[in-house]
Amino acid sequence: MKINGTAYRTIWLNEDGWSVEIIDQTRLPHEFVTARLTRMEDAAVAIRTMQVRGAPLIGATAAYGVCLALREDASDEAMDAAIDHLADQRPTAFNLRWALDEMRKAVRNLPREERVKAAYERAARLCDEDVETCRMIGVHGLQLIEEIAAKKGAGEAVNVLTHCNAGWLACVDWGTATSPIYQAHNKGIDVHVWVDETRPRNQGASLTAYELGAHGVPHTIIVDNAGGHLMQQGAVDMVIVGTDRVTAAGDVANKIGTYLKALAAKDNDVPFFVALPHSTIDWSLEDGFDIPIEERSSDEVLTMPGRLPDGSVVRVEIAAPGSEADNPAFDVTPARLVSGLITERGICEASAEGLSKLYPDRD
Ligand code: MRU
């Protein structure tokens, strides 16, 4: 997608052919800054500190982290240690584990001297595949937006509500939840997005709004608690969110607050769709409550960054001094609250049957 007229992916190789460039998402929306990763630990830190975030992009960054690790030491022991270390950085996103498994499969049977080249090839392919997968999620999800648009009067926008950032910044390009929206907008369909601010880190207000704005998609930021009210007012035609892990039975882990949106959507007969690539499906789990939920620092709840009129970006305290805070980063939406899963292979029911029909060849 484009920023100021220049097409970007979220991760790419530097012109030196081996170091890795990322967009530093901790600096958005106030500054567009890229960062260069030269060691495996740089990739681990980028994932842990959320310079890169969003399940597919975490996976892509970890894949390049393995490449950087193998440059330093291509032994089995070093590779296993790097993979374990990268996997430990964030617990909920399944794409991280999937990407690391793919990297291990790509190099494990090769002699040491061939491993670095093979790893870079697999990481590059993994990124290209993610772009195509997300594009196809958009192709399928577009049908849903078109169906709603067809029922609306002239000049009436299709209103989509989304939570967190499941946009191109969370993937390599296109995004998952945003891909149908970008494709509808590109096709000339009048689409408007309600962007949940997504406390505590505000990925909606700072990232989703940033990327939709850069692409010219009409959108409005709302506080997280406004969604239910807007649904009651008939102002939301559908909800599309992303996910960090989907179980084989269709339960969905996503950014904290997603479950409440699903409940409100159910109560108001608003379709609630989840967009995901195959790499997000954890076929080993049935029950969503077995998904590990990341606990993050209470600082994210008690403080907030912002830009002052002089342009400087500072972090300020927003809570009663001395109060403690709890910060679970994800929640689980049971499959029964999900209208459908939008994947690169099509749309299916959020159920074991629905998923296995789309993925009869699953690994
Ligand atoms: O903590 P984050 O910002 O990594 O959480 C991101 C989300 O919850 C996204 O919705 C999810 O990763 C899907 S990304 C296409």
**DSSP-assigned letter for residue 323:** -
Among protein residues, the one with the nearest Cα to ligand 1's atom 8 is 255
Q: Is the CB of 55 under 6 A from ligand 1?
A: yes
Question: pTM for this one?
Answer: 0.97
Find the helix or strand (DSSP H, E) in which 62 lies.
helix 55-72
Q: What is the largest CA-CA distance in the chain?
A: 63
In this structure, the answer to whether residues 169 and 316 fall within a common structural domain is yes
Contact 36, 14 (CB under 8 A): yes
| Ligand 1 centroid distance, CA of 103 (Å) | 22
Tell me which of 23, 130, 164 to substitute to probe ligand 1's pocket, judged by most ligand atoms within 8 Å of the beta carbon: 164
In this structure, the answer to whether residues 99 and 240 fall within a common structural domain is no
Compute how many other C-beta atoms are within 10 angstroms of the C-beta atom of residue 120: 22
In a domain, 354, yes or no: yes
Q: What angle do CA 63, 65, 68 make, to 5 degrees?
A: 120
| Ligand 1 centroid distance, CA of 77 (Å) | 31
Bridge pairing between strands 252-255 and 330-333: antiparallel
**Measured on CA atoms in the order 127, 3, 65, 244, is the torsion positive or negative?**
negative
Backbone angles phi, psi at 269, to 5 degrees: 55, 35
Both tokens of 201, joined, read 């880190």
pLDDT tens, residue by residue, 29-85: 999 999 999 999 999 999 999 999 999 999 999 999 999 999 999 999 999 999 999
In this structure, the answer to whether residues 304 and 175 fall within a common structural domain is yes
pLDDT of residue 1: 83
In the chain, the number of structural domains is 2
In this structure, the answer to whether residues 154 and 212 fall within a common structural domain is yes
Helix (H, G, I), strand (E, B) or coil at 326: coil
In this structure, the answer to whether residues 156 and 119 fall within a common structural domain is no
pLDDT in tens, the chain (363 residues): 888 888 899 999 999 999 999 999 999 999 999 999 999 999 999 999 999 999 999 999 999 999 999 999 999 999 999 999 999 999 999 999 999 999 999 999 999 999 999 999 999 999 999 999 999 999 999 999 999 999 998 899 999 999 999 999 999 999 999 999 999 999 999 999 999 999 999 999 999 999 999 999 999 999 999 999 999 999 999 999 999 999 999 999 999 999 999 999 999 999 999 999 999 999 999 999 999 999 999 999 999 999 999 999 999 999 999 999 999 999 999 999 999 999 999 999 999 999 999 999 986
In a domain, 76, yes or no: yes
Q: Is the CB of 242 under 6 A from ligand 1?
A: yes
Tell me which of 96, 131, 210, 243 to substitute to probe ligand 1's pocket, judged by most ligand atoms within 8 Å of the beta carbon: 243
User: What is the phi-psi region of residue 54: left when phi exceeds 0, alpha when psi lies from -120 to 50, beta otherwise?
Assistant: left
pLDDT tens, residue by residue, 114-164: 999 999 999 999 999 999 999 999 999 999 999 999 999 889 999 999 999
pLDDT of residue 363: 60
| Ligand 1 centroid distance, CA of 348 (Å) | 21
Q: Is the CB of 47 under 6 A from ligand 1?
A: no
CA nearest to 240, candidates 155, 97, 94, 347 = 347
**At residue 246, what is the residue type?**
V
| Ligand 1 centroid distance, CA of 92 (Å) | 10
Contact 64, 119 (CB under 8 A): no
| Ligand 1 centroid distance, CA of 243 (Å) | 6
Q: Is the CB of 203 under 6 A from ligand 1?
A: yes
Contact 250, 161 (CB under 8 A): no
Contact 148, 238 (CB under 8 A): yes
In this structure, the answer to whether residues 353 and 234 fall within a common structural domain is yes
Decide which of 128, 152, 172 is a domain's last residue: 128
In a domain, 363, yes or no: no
Among protein residues, the one with the nearest Cα to ligand 1's atom 6 is 54
Euclidean distance between CA atoms 104 and 66, whole angstroms = 9
Q: Is the CB of 195 under 6 A from ligand 1?
A: no
In this structure, the answer to whether residues 112 and 214 fall within a common structural domain is no
**DSSP-assigned letter for residue 344:** T
Q: Is the CB of 331 under 6 A from ligand 1?
A: no
Strand partners of residue 323: none
CATH number for the domain including 210?
3.40.50.10470
In a domain, 133, yes or no: no
Helix (H, G, I), strand (E, B) or coil at 340: strand
Q: Is the CB of 164 under 6 A from ligand 1?
A: yes
In this structure, the answer to whether residues 103 and 227 fall within a common structural domain is no
Choose the catalytic residue: 42, 224, 244, 282: 244
Torsion of CA 212, 134, 273, 279, to 10 degrees: -130
Decide which of 93, 128, 163 is a domain's last residue: 128
Decide which of 104, 128, 152 is a domain's last residue: 128
Q: Spell out the SS3 assignment of 207-245.
A: HHHHHHHHHCCCEEEECHHHHHHHHHCCCCCEEEECCCE
In a domain, 332, yes or no: yes
Q: Domain residues for 291? A: 139-358
Euclidean distance between CA atoms 215 and 184, whole angstroms = 12
Euclidean distance between CA atoms 184 and 62, whole angstroms = 31
Q: Is the CB of 254 under 6 A from ligand 1?
A: yes
pLDDT of residue 77: 97
130 is a catalytic site residue: no
Q: Please enumerate in sequence order all residues whose Cβ is within 8 A of that of 214, keeping only pairs 6 or more positions apart, or say none.
A: 1, 2, 3, 4
In a domain, 79, yes or no: yes
